[in-house]
């Protein structure tokens, strides 16, 4: 059974150094925060998608080199849990 996610905030976008990050924040049924990120850069224009817990333990990642940009985005955009 899939866990239900509730949208906390949608579609923030910003540039962190040379990396563009698009992110949305969700909460699960236990009020844990979860992020969905899309990341790309001019050097690597292929969009990478990530689904990570708020504590940044990877749930699904295709490339770890994007972690610093996602961490900056999370710190800038994070809405605290209820």
Residue 64, in any domain of the structure: yes
**Is 82 inside any structural domain?**
no
Indicate whether 12 belongs to any domain.
yes
The three-state secondary structure class of 2 is coil
Domain range enclosing 50: 6-77
**pLDDT at residue 12, as a whole number:** 95
Residue 1 lies in a domain: no
Query: How many domains is the chain partitioned into structurally?
Result: 1
Predicted model pTM = 0.81
pLDDT value, residue 71 = 86
User: What is the distance between the alpha carbons of residues 54 and 21, in angstroms, rounded to a whole number?
Assistant: 16
Whole-angstrom Cα Rg for the chain: 12
Provide φ and ψ at 33, rounded to 5°. Answer: -90, 140
Q: What is the mean pLDDT of the chain?
A: 85
């Amino acid at each position: 059974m899939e866990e239900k996610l509730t949208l906390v905030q949608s579609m923030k976008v910003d540039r962190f150094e040379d990396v563009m990050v698009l992110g949305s924040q969700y909460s699960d049924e236990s009020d844990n925060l979860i992020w969905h990120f899309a990341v790309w850069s001019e050097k690597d224009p292929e969009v990478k998608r990530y689904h990570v817990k708020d504590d940044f333990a990877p749930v699904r990642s295709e490339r770890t080199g994007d972690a610093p940009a996602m961490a900056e985005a999370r710190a800038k955009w994070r809405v605290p849990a209820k």
